[in-house]
Amino acid sequence: MNGYKDLRVWQQSIEFARRCHQLLHDLPPELRYSLGDQIRRASISIPSNLAEGFGRHSKNEMKRFARISLGSSYELETQIILLKSFDVQPSLLENIIQMEPCLQSIIRMLVKLIRSLN
């Protein structure tokens, strides 16, 4: 592996964050500026922490930052569950539901990465 950009989990989390940002434009204002901001920050945190951990040039630091990314993933999973509980447009709800398997894939890859660093 030459860099963090080669990590499949980083690549998928970048795409997931981009999709989250697109999705948030369709939220009603009362959700966009509360839950939407939380979703935005958590989705950005996942690839950002992977990059930072890789840049520390230490296996222990990489593992620590991968754990932070995993925590952000679980935070995001909870925020998506909350978002689904609100009365949102059916098309928006469908898009949210379609994103869940991607997030589950990211979580699995992060767990695998952390285990490989032990």
pLDDT in tens, 2-21: 799 999 999 999 999 999 99
pLDDT in tens, 45-76: 999 999 999 999 999 999 999 999 999 999 99
Residue 1 scores a pLDDT above 70:
no
pLDDT at 26: 86
For residues 118 and 100, give the distance between their C-alpha atoms in angstroms, rounded to a whole number. Answer: 28
Q: Does pTM surpass 0.75?
A: yes
pLDDT at 2: 78
The CATH code of the domain that includes 95 is 1.20.1440.60
Residue 66: domain span: 4-116
The radius of gyration computed from the CA coordinates of the chain, to the nearest angstrom, equals 15
For residues 102 and 15, give the distance between their C-alpha atoms in angstroms, rounded to a whole number. Answer: 10
Give the mean pLDDT of 74-80: 96
Residue 110 scores a pLDDT above 70:
yes
Reduced 3-state DSSP string for the chain: CCCHHHCHHHHHHHHHHHHHHHHHCCCCHHHHCCHHHHHHHHHHHHHHHHHHHHHCCCHHHHHHHHHHHHHHHHHHHHHHHHHHHCCCCHHHHHHHHHHHHHHHHHHHHHHHHHHHCC
Residue 87 scores a pLDDT above 90:
no
In the chain, the number of structural domains is 1
